Structure 1
Amino acid sequence: MREEIDKAIAVLKSGGLIVYPTDTVWGIGCDATNAEAVKKVYKLKQRQDNKALICLVNNYSMLEKHVDNVPKMAYTILDIADKPTTIIYDAPAGVAENLIAEDNTLAIRIVDHDFCKKLIRYLGRPIVSTSANIAGKPTPKSFKEIDEAILKGVDYVVNLQQQKNGGNPSTIIKLSNTSGVKIIRE
């Protein structure tokens, strides 16, 4: 696994894109602090850049570094969640501007996947995570379902867990400091 992490980190640090396994589905990823890399993700997915992407962090400490004021409710939600849960937070900080939604929010998930946790820890920065598909196409449930255009469009495909079936996309909850909790995707 360490060799795969090192290869992926080299690509991420150079502004490249990877396809990698996560705690949900196979994702397209890049350094979440690199605006040019984020732009490449939108282009590869053929996705409008006003549709937000998810950002992965590896622990509460990294979350707190990238959100100005994490609501106390977020910790409760994450502690009781029985599946991967992404929360949309107000006032993100320290990420690429084109990753932040027009309403000054950012979707962040604390990942629970050994490879991803180590990748983020060794990179020292959050990474983008968006399903490995062209916008509007079904989310691939396994590596073999990923469109060839996606695989050819990235700089590196992580060579781990390619035989394993993936999971389901995460639950997404919008948690605003002013307007409460709203479930976006179950």
Structure 2
Amino acid sequence: MRRRLAIGGMGELFLVDRTTGDGVTSTAVLKRLLPGADPAHQALFLREGDALAQLASPRIVRLLDRGPGWLLLEHVDGVDLATLLAQRARRGRPLPLPAAMAALTGLAAALADLHEAAGPDGAPLGLVHRDVNPANVLLTMGGAVKLIDLGVVRTALTDAATVAGVKGTLAYMAPEQLHG
């Protein structure tokens, strides 16, 4: 492990080196469930891994490998939109309109990929991110958008098993999410 990137309520992220079977080393992100996580968080973590395992979108972070209590994710060389917006705000310089439009267009495409995803049998997965906010939108150095953190994802199969309560980031929720 190179270093810890972040810690949240359910897990922690580390920047790691990954060596493939043919000896190629690359950078990846290890997402690890916090020790002693309650069963609800364990279920959400498992659901995130299951959802990522079925996705193949260039606009959604890729799952490289997984095991009990951990996910190995693609490393995205870039910055999250929240950090970029905060940096620009401190300088009194809003994001230029063309850059904002490109970010929103990329995010819309990522969400379309998520919502249109189908399983191996062709049946829709019914995925809903439920925590779309600037911190979960990465902008690559090449200008592409990557959607991350499917930690509270809802699927068509798990809708009935959704843990009671509001999921997501309050400031970025649609009004209907607050009212059930």
* TM-score, normalising length: structure 2: 0.30
TM-score, with length taken from structure 1:
0.29
| Structure with the greater alpha carbon radius of gyration | 2
Larger relative contact order (C-alpha < 8 A, sep ≥ 6)? 1
